[in-house]
Amino acid sequence: LAKTTQPISMDSYEGQEVNITCSHNNIATNDYITWYQQFPSQGPRFIIQGYKTKVTNEVASLFIPADRKSSTLSLPRVSLSDTAVYYCLVGDTGGGNKLTFGTGTQLKVEL
Amino acid sequence: EAGVAQSPRYKIIEKRQSVAFWCNPISGHATLYWYQQILGQGPKLLIQFQNNGVVDDSQLPKDRFSAERLKGVDSTLKIQPAKLEDSAVYLCASSYRPNTDTQYFGPGTRLTVL
């Protein structure tokens, strides 16, 4: 299983950009990088997925350097409602390296 | 589109009792997952189904946990007998295809074992 390492917690203020970095040194060639968000008393929710370079959708961007040993989730202009736990997962499409949730990063956004 | 449905939402039982959780995945999703999430931790995969076959149950405590997915749609997870350490939220998720396809999670069942 590809192991991921994330900061346990981060604090930010409304309107700021938040970058959460995930380390995955033993990522395999077929592995994709996926981020999920979880609010209290809810199941995780898919945010974004990528393989290399940069991926952007309506809620976030994902930056992946050439060596793919880390990735950064970027949340532009966060609001109070972005307070949640963010999980970085690494896994492949063929099932050889399954997506495994770590302990995640608790993001707290304040006024 | 309807999301993943789970019931009950909450359950309190005494240790050594039995309990069952039900999950109805999103229509058309062949892959179904059961996760256990202990407070303060990330979800841990217990079992993964592809249609009605088990793909991965390596982390399922088979001496007390069982799961089935008859007809490849709804699924039931059972614990018998329950232990104190089984207190957790049990999450069901489904996806169109396995592994890297987006998983859609239900609201979970919060189990408290006294």
Given a contact cutoff of 8 angstroms between Cβ atoms, the answer to whether A80 and A111 are in contact is: yes
Q: Which residue of A has its CA nearest to B109?
A: A41
The mean pLDDT value for A23-50 works out to: 92
Contact (CB<8Å) B43/A101: yes
Contact (CB<8Å) B100/A44: no
Query: What pLDDT, on the 0 to 100 scale, is given for residue A110?
Result: 96
What is the number of alpha carbons within 13 Å of residue B72 lying toward its C-beta? 12
At B6-42, the pLDDT tens digits run: 999 999 999 999 999 999 999 999 999 999 999 999 9
The partner residues of A79 in beta bridges, in order of sequence, read: none
Query: Which residues, 6 or more positions from A59, have their beta carbon under 8 angstroms from its beta carbon?
Result: A47, A48, A75
Q: Which residue of A has its CA nearest to B43?
A: A101
Q: Which one of B100, B103, B109 would you mutate to disrupt binding with A, by most A Cβ within 10 Å of its Cβ?
A: B100
Q: Which residue of A has its CA nearest to B92?
A: A43
Taking 70 as the threshold, does the pLDDT of residue A97 lie above it? Answer: no
Query: What pLDDT, on the 0 to 100 scale, is given for residue A19?
Result: 98
